[in-house]
Amino acid sequence: MQQIQDILYTQGFGTRRVCTGLVQQGYVSVHGQIVTDAGAAFDPQGLVFHVQGQPWAYHEKAYLMLHKPAGMECSHKPSAWPSVYTLLPAPLRQRPNKGAVVGVQAIGRLDQDTTGLLLLSDDGAFIHRMSSPRHHVPKVYEVTLQDPLQAAQVARLLAGVVLNDDPRPVRAAACEARDGHHLSLTLTEGKYHQVKRMIAAVGNQVQALHRSRMGALVLPGDLAAGQWRWLRAEEVAALRG
């Protein structure tokens, strides 16, 4: 059991004082009943409550997918473009961790002009599992090319190309031509601008880039650009492997 003020705090509804105030002012309801006692205790597991009329389901840790649109940065402090975090409700941006407000964090940032699957979480171990090069989590990108794709370029991407910041060749785990100007590229590393630099290294240019998959998780076709949803328990388990 956990006090309702503490439940609100863990879910990102503000400081402990703010959460206490929300309850005492009658803005919180549980099981259809307004709760004004901030110390009232509930089992948080599976709990759905309402704050100012909006439903919220309790999640001990946050695991989300977002369909990132173009023209947005994966940064809490964007420099030139709007932040993808503005697409999320405030509680997800304010979830506390060890007493500090850190919110959910993007796992493997996408450039402002890149679209597709973006995972976010406040679980440090999960973030490390998904982003560490040691775990070789495959990421699949759908690439639109400026010039027609050549068989020799596919061969070079599979064999490995050298980028200017590392003398060791970087190889695609898989590379499949879709048509003359499109290919599906699978990577297990996460270097800066890696897809664009690899394509440039074989003598072509990226016109558009879309991430369609991370690990076992495929971006669903019914999740429109700019939309997000919670990951289901089985999806989190599959990503953890």
Radius of gyration for the alpha carbons in the chain, expressed in angstroms and rounded: 21
Distance CA 229, CA 217 (A): 13
CB 95 within 8 A of CB 189: no
- Alpha helices, H only, 47-193: 90-93, 124-131, 151-159
Helix (H, G, I), strand (E, B) or coil at 233: helix
Start-end of H helices in 40-110: 90-93
| Secondary structure (H, E, C), 14-60 | CCHHHHHHHHHCCCEEECCEECCCCCCEECCCCCEEEECCEEEECCC
Question: Is 37 annotated in the active site?
Answer: no
- Helix (H) / strand (E) element for 240: namely helix 233-240
Q: Which residue in 212, 162, 161, 209 sits closest to 181, CA to CA?
A: 209
Candidate list 6, 111, 147, 166, residue with the active-site label = 111
Residues assigned a catalytic role: 111
